[in-house]
Chains A and B, each alone.
Chain A
Amino acid sequence: MDFITILSIFVLACFVGYYVVWSVTPALHTPLMAVTNAISSVIVVGALIASAAAGSAGSKWLGLVAVALASVNIFGGFAVTERMLAMYKKKDRPAPKAPDKAGGAK
């Protein structure tokens, strides 16, 4: 990919990000931060390339440390997001005898 292609992806993704993030409900802003934390650890891709490559031992160990750091974030970020999201519940309606609201829950 040449630089302009990459730049195009970047600029368009910024716009996508802008609109997607404004549509996030304020009640979920903390999970949003936790999950953005997790996905920004996609930097692990760079760490994997560094640690997989033969040639420079220094680069390999730096890569391995970066893999470990990013893994803390990936597992921790997704797990804590999952934990938070599981806590958001709707009002307990008198569910069995209220067919008017099909909330999707059982």
Chain B
Amino acid sequence: MEAVHAVNPWVALAYLVAGVCFILALRGLSSPASSRAGNRYGMLGMVIAVVTTLVTHEVASLAEIAGAILIGGGFGFVVARKIKMTDMPQLVAAFHSLVGLAAVLVAVAAFLNPDAFGILGADGNILTVSRVEMALGAAIGAITFSGSVIAFAKLNGNMSGAPIMLPGRHVINLGTLVAILAMTGLFAAAAQAGPGENPLFWVIVAASFAIGFLLIIPIGGADMPVVVSMLNSYSGWAAAAMGFTLHNSAMIITGALVGSSGAILSYIMCRAMNRSFISVIAGGFGAESGGGDAGAAKTDRPWKRGSAEDAAFLLKEAASVIIIPGYGMAVAQAQHVLREMADALKEEGVSVKYAIHPVAGRMPGHMNVLLAEANVPYDEVFELEDINSEFAQADVAFIIGANDVVNPAAKTDKSSPIYGMPVFDVEKAKTIFFIKRSMGGVGYAGVDNDVFYMDQTMMLLGDAKKVVEEIVKAL
């Protein structure tokens, strides 16, 4: 049989075009204005890749393939239309797991039927370099799958977000990783390596499923943005590894793009929490946050309670208001009524801006999507670095559902667990409104916040949505 990669150059060119389309898809995301065109490029690239593959291979089972695409595609489409924007992190985690599982299945198929992939050597053995690639592809895919399943369960609430700490887990995890690499080496070096022959392959796959599971269970809910980004990266590397096996440039380019994208997002998330990647992976952070309103805050310090009417009056009188939304806002579904409040203020001539911390949601950029869904124009939404200098001129800082990201202890208190994390300089604003369910609860990091007790702070206690509704009524 002739090898697949000996095909004519037009095919290679078509895959290259598909790869370039995927680059353009990401390039489009540099601004919301060009983003939709970018997404179309992505779809075009996918169509080119699929059609090229179907045309250049002897397809013995077109009906079955069409059926598989219809079933899978139909399901994916319906889910994508129905999913709530607050549930986006779960959806992304679920999608990652599917990429991972697909990679494993492709690797297994290549192992069982290497001839179809053109990686069977003349001696009846699978090519050595292909053996390394397929073992790594299967391993990364399996880690992506089981890791994403755990991330999904934690994000979706099927599983407690609290870290699960096994004794000696670092030794177990490192040992398993080393064992996977060692077995990959043995698998590549084995003399007997015909189609489906070496059982070591199955051990590698099984160990990789296990390690994906073990790596994610000790990581707490607060670190899930990093985990989701990291799994995004892994799914890319899995695709790239399979691209090496198939000698397919579209897969390699895509894998590299997705791999670096996830890696950069993980880095951005870690930086926003001032945590090192290693400490996130090691897990355990947020162990104490599971208790919720455990009463860790010292509420004996004096604080001021405001009413919705006071807040409405001061907001109307203000020249500029900066709103700092956190995940609590999304949980209370307060984003729509918040936008109504902003609209009412804008009619009074107040300048309203939104300030978003990189870790404000449950995944990178999550809060921006939630605000966009509530019809907040994206040019009123600003990132931390862009708006932090404006608090000194702002009349009101309006904090809703956020806590750790406005805690000045991150700047001053070296002993605080969030020390070094970049935070908003809300204390420079003339007035601070802090919407919070009760005085008892503390943020994810479980630390008290000096902003509660400042002279210019007014606490608005209650459900975020109800409080904002009352303010809107009073405006």
Q: Which of B155-163, B230-238, B321-329, B455-463 is the interface stretch? A: B230-238
B22 within 8 A of A: yes
Chain B residues bordering chain A, tally (CB within 8 A)? 121
Contacts of B92 in A (CB 8 A): 30, 33-34, 37
B378 touches A13 (CB 8 A): no
Contacts of A89 in B (CB 8 A): 372, 375, 377-378
Contacts known (A17-B260, A30-B368, A58-B112); A47 close to B80, Cβ less than 8 A: no
Could you tell me the distance in whole angstroms from the C-beta of B238 to the nearest C-beta in chain A? 7
A25 to B252 alpha-carbon distance, docked (Å): 25
The 7 closest A-B pairs by CB, nearest first: A76-B76, A29-B365, A71-B72, A53-B116, A17-B260, A13-B256, A50-B109
- Chosen A-B contacts, 10 in total, with CB atoms closer than 8 Å, are A17-B261, A20-B257, A27-B378, A52-B61, A68-B68, A71-B68, A71-B72, A75-B73, A81-B39, A88-B372
B378 touches A52 (CB 8 A): no
Known: A38-B42, A80-B88. 17 other contacts (CB 8 A): A9-B253, A14-B260, A26-B365, A31-B29, A33-B265, A33-B365, A35-B26, A36-B261, A43-B106, A46-B106, A50-B116, A51-B65, A63-B109, A67-B69, A72-B72, A79-B81, A90-B32
Q: Which of B49-57, B285-293, B412-420 is the interface stretch? A: B49-57
Contacts known (A25-B32, A37-B235); A67 close to B254, Cβ less than 8 A: no
A84 touches B364 (CB 8 A): no
A52 to B64 alpha-carbon distance, docked (Å): 9
Could you tell me the distance in whole angstroms from the C-beta of B95 to the nearest C-beta in chain A? 4
B257 touches A13 (CB 8 A): yes
Most chain A CB within a 10 A radius of its CB, from B23, B60, B102, B243: B102
A95 within 8 A of B: no
Contacts of A40 in B (CB 8 A): 99, 235-236, 238-239, 254-255, 258
Residues of A within 8 A of B (CB): 1, 3, 6, 9-10, 13-14, 16-18, 20-56, 58-60, 62-92, 104
B261 touches A51 (CB 8 A): no
Could you tell me the distance in whole angstroms from the C-beta of A30 to the nearest C-beta in chain B? 4
Please give me the residue from chain B that is nearest to A45 by CB atom: B53
B49 touches A42 (CB 8 A): yes
A46, A48, A79, A84: which contacts B110 (Cβ < 8 A)?
A46
Could you tell me the distance in whole angstroms from the C-beta of B269 to the nearest C-beta in chain A? 9
A78 touches B96 (CB 8 A): no
B42 touches A39 (CB 8 A): yes
Contacts of A64 in B (CB 8 A): 61, 64-65, 68
B31, B49, B110, B262: which contacts A36 (Cβ < 8 A)?
B262
B102 touches A59 (CB 8 A): no
Could you tell me the distance in whole angstroms from the C-beta of A3 to the nearest C-beta in chain B? 6
Please give me the residue from chain B that is nearest to A103 by CB atom: B33
Most chain B CB within a 10 A radius of its CB, from A3, A22, A69, A82: A69
Contacts of B186 in A (CB 8 A): none
Residues of B within 8 A of A (CB): 4-5, 12, 18-19, 22-23, 25-27, 29-33, 35-36, 38-39, 42-43, 45-46, 49-50, 53-54, 57-61, 64-65, 68-77, 79-81, 83, 85, 88, 91-92, 95-96, 98-99, 101-103, 105-106, 108-110, 112-113, 115-117, 129, 195, 228-229, 232, 235-236, 238-240, 242-262, 264-265, 268, 356, 358, 361, 363-366, 368-369, 372-373, 375, 377-381, 383
Contacts of A104 in B (CB 8 A): 33
A44 to B105 alpha-carbon distance, docked (Å): 11
Contacts known (A46-B246, A69-B98); A88 close to B35, Cβ less than 8 A: yes
B58 touches A74 (CB 8 A): no
Could you tell me the distance in whole angstroms from the C-beta of A67 to the nearest C-beta in chain B? 4
A52 touches B101 (CB 8 A): no
A29 to B240 alpha-carbon distance, docked (Å): 22
Contacts of B253 in A (CB 8 A): 9, 13, 16
A85 to B65 alpha-carbon distance, docked (Å): 30
Could you tell me the distance in whole angstroms from the C-beta of A34 to the nearest C-beta in chain B? 6
Contacts known (A24-B29, A36-B236, A71-B76); A82 close to B368, Cβ less than 8 A: no
A37 to B31 alpha-carbon distance, docked (Å): 19
Contacts of A3 in B (CB 8 A): 129
Contacts of B75 in A (CB 8 A): 72, 76
Contacts of B238 in A (CB 8 A): 40, 43
